[in-house]
Amino acid sequence: MPQPHISQTADQHVVLVSGPSGAGRSTAINALEDVGYETIDNIPLTLIPRLIDGGAPDLPRQPLALGIDVRNRDFSAQRLLDLHRDLGARSRVRCDLLYLDCTAEVLIRRYSETRRRHPLARDEDPAAGIARELALLEDVRARADIVLESSDLTVHDLRAEIDKWFGHRTGQGMAVSLHSFSYKRGLPQGLDMVLDCRFLRNPHWDRDLRPFTGLDARVADYVGQDPRFDSFVSGVETLLGCVLPGCVAEGKSHFQIGFGCTGGQHRSVTLTERIAAGLAHGGWQVSIRHRELERRGMVGKSAPVTQPQARMDGKAEK
């Protein structure tokens, strides 16, 4: 597979961090600080251009992460989107809009646990403010460069996601993230490309292999014995060999690929691991996430899935 082309680095990298209150924006800001970003939370939008224009022009610029939400005195979704557009149009500035997403149900639960007032519902039930804020931010979410769904993430998981997406800014190229998932649970957020693995032979129908995952060599071998497997892998690698360098040339800093199967346990995991290994061998900055295995605590293990695991909210998987 072709080596990645590393595009010219901008003088200033700016990450605008937004999302509904309670979705993890403060955690994301702290994680960005830990990977080397200068961070400022809740800064007025009108001050940001002057902040970026300031400083000595001949000195290297530390990357900036700026927290922006509805508490800002001059906040509006359109002003934020205009700022993102204007900064991105500057020749020596790279601007990413990071949106921390979360379902209304999880946000309501988090506010119930912390007993804090919602900024858009000071004297009302937090659910009213959450509904207003999600509606207000619809356009921001739709036009964000990166959307991180935090509903099922712990604080540690979210920090790991931030490190995956932004830790490479110390000199690496475009980050490529591969996800395995189950179609029964829907597509992961923010995918740039989705590939369906359900046509390959399914280890689920082998009683000896059913309890194991695509991380197990026996399962990977079983899937790999499908006569269509090698041509599929070759076709995907050829496709990515064309698409990824093009994305780098376009200026993208991240690219997400999803591999889906029925249960997200066997075929999609096998393909994710296989393609990720090829990309890493080709010199790309690659990370992997197995969504369904993470839900069951199976990531990094070659062990049977014996029973549903507890979700973070305490409810059993179905």
Instruction: Examine residue 57 and state whether it is found in any structural domain, yes or no.
Output: yes
32 and 164 housed in the same domain: yes
Contact of 172 with 236, CB cutoff 8 Å:
no
Please give the pLDDT value at position 168: 59
Please give the pLDDT value at position 312: 29
29 and 157 housed in the same domain: yes
Mean predicted lDDT score pLDDT of the chain:
82
At residue 74, the 3 state secondary structure works out as coil
Q: Taking residues 144-168, what's their average pLDDT? A: 83
160 and 63 housed in the same domain: yes
At residue 116, the 3 state secondary structure works out as coil
Lowest mean pLDDT among 19-33, 42-56, 78-92, 209-223: 42-56
17's tokens: 């961090």
Q: Taking residues 27-51, what's their average pLDDT? A: 88
| Residue 124 domain boundaries | 12-170
42 and 137 housed in the same domain: yes
Please give the pLDDT value at position 132: 87
Instruction: Examine residue 317 and state whether it is found in any structural domain, yes or no.
Output: no
Portion of the chain with pLDDT greater than 70, in percent = 85
- Under the banding of pLDDT at 50, 70 and 90, the label for residue 259 is very high
Instruction: Examine residue 308 and state whether it is found in any structural domain, yes or no.
Output: no
Contact of 167 with 209, CB cutoff 8 Å:
no
Please give the pLDDT value at position 214: 94
Instruction: Examine residue 161 and state whether it is found in any structural domain, yes or no.
Output: yes
pLDDT at 303 over 80: no
pLDDT at 38 over 80: yes
* Total domain count, the chain: 2
Q: Where are the beta strands (DSSP E) in the chain?
A: 12-18, 38-41, 64-67, 93-101, 146-149, 175-182, 193-196, 254-261, 285-290
Please give the pLDDT value at position 4: 38
Please give the pLDDT value at position 1: 44
183 and 160 housed in the same domain: no
- Under the banding of pLDDT at 50, 70 and 90, the label for residue 299 is low
Q: What is the CATH number of the domain that holds 42?
A: 3.40.50.300
pLDDT at 121 over 60: yes
Instruction: Give the C-alpha distances (Å, rounded to integers) separating 31 from 34, 35, 124, 155, 241.
Output: 5, 7, 32, 10, 32
Q: Which are the contacts of 253, defined by CB distance < 8 A and separation ≥ 6?
A: 94, 96, 145, 174, 175
145 and 238 housed in the same domain: no
Kind and range of the H or E run holding 114? helix 104-114
Cα separation, 257 vs 267, whole angstroms? 15
pLDDT at 308 over 50: no
Cα separation, 59 vs 34, whole angstroms? 22
**Tell me: the pLDDT tens digits for 40-70?**
998 888 899 888 887 655 555 788 999 988 8
Instruction: Examine residue 142 and state whether it is found in any structural domain, yes or no.
Output: yes
46 and 161 housed in the same domain: yes
